Amino acid sequence: RFGLKTKFLGQSIHYEESVESTQKIAHRLAYDQAAEGTVVVAEEQVAGRGRMDRVWHSPKYTGVWMSIILRPNIPIPKAPQLTLLAAVAVVQAIEEVTTVTPQIKWPNDILINGKKVTGILTELQAEADRINSVIIGIGINVNQQMEDYPEELRTIATSLSIESGKRINRADLIRSAFNRLEHLYELYLEKGFLPIKLLWESYAISIGKMITARTLSGSIRGRALGITEDGVLKIEDTEGIVHQVYSADIELE
Ligand code: BTN
């Protein structure tokens, strides 16, 4: 299918013109036993979702809005590793089809020149303490121009086209992302998280820097030390206490 080299990732594609959210469709497919590697791609989302209940702006024909179903046999606390793995795959795909150099902001934002070009939202379906499926939602801003963005997003969001000065072929980008993601996923299942962690850290911007992490229970300011084996962020605060942060918004100083 369009020159895809994968064994399973993207071998079943549900292509939709307009949806509320590809996550919602992928959840239903996963519940109905869809095969591992099944993908939902839409031209537009009218109710795209971001992390922390935020809205994900997903206008028609300009971006890549997709959700991927994986069925790894891993314990639930390891699921965040897959978010980091997906971020590495998307960074590599962006590097393959453009001339720009993206960076990752923990856990899953991909930035170019400090502005967000991609968000990743990982959700689980689990039974008891077993993962039934992991739904990885990936939103990549591809061919938007600055005037396409609402005013409030212009200082924080960008697109591959704005940053590279070219139109980007979305099919090329999707194909590359599938190839990279499958490769990294197989590496992960075979060798564990360490090789992924090293790649992730090589693209990360926040490591070693002073950051403020805003969590639901308050803010922590300190130096980002790195990530744990489970993909959790370690921050050393100004008193030398090391915190492990599972979910937060990060602000760089
Ligand atoms: C974030 O940065 O907050 C995550 C954004 C995730 C957006 C993608 S687009 C495809 C999939 N469907 C959704 O509704 N959200 C994810």
118 lines ligand 1 (CB under 6 A): no
Strand-pair partners of 29: none
Q: Is 191 among the annotated ligand-binding positions?
A: no
One of 3.30.930.10, 3.40.630.30, 3.40.50.1370, 2.40.50.140 is the CATH number of 13-203, namely: 3.30.930.10
CATH architecture of 210-252: Roll (2.30)
Give yes or no for a cis peptide into 195 (omega within 30° of 0): no
Task: Supply φ then ψ for residue 101, to 5 degrees.
Answer: -115, 105
Is 45 annotated as ligand-binding? yes
Asked if 177 and 138 touch (Cβ cutoff 8 Å), the reply is yes
Q: Where are the domains of the chain?
A: 13-203, 210-252
pLDDT tens digits for range 195-252: 999 999 999 998 999 999 998 889 999 999 999 988 899 999 999 999 999 888 899 8
214 is in an annotated binding site: no
Q: Is 50 in the pocket of ligand 1 (CB under 6 A)?
A: yes
Residue 45 CA to ligand 1 center (angstroms) comes to 10
Q: Do domains 13-203 and 210-252 have the same CATH topology?
A: no
pLDDT tens track for 160-184: 999 999 999 999 999 999 999 999 9
Per DSSP, 108 falls in state T
User: Ligand 1 atom 16: the closest Cα is on which residue?
Assistant: 137
Rounded CA-CA distance 83/141 in Å is 18
Asked whether the beta carbons of 135 and 69 are under 8 A apart, the reply is yes
240 membership: H or E segment, kind and range: none
Identity at 66, one-letter amino acid code: M
> Cα of 121 to ligand 1 centre, how many Å?
5
pTM: 0.94
Using CA atoms, how far apart are residues 118 and 1, in angstroms rounded to an integer? 25
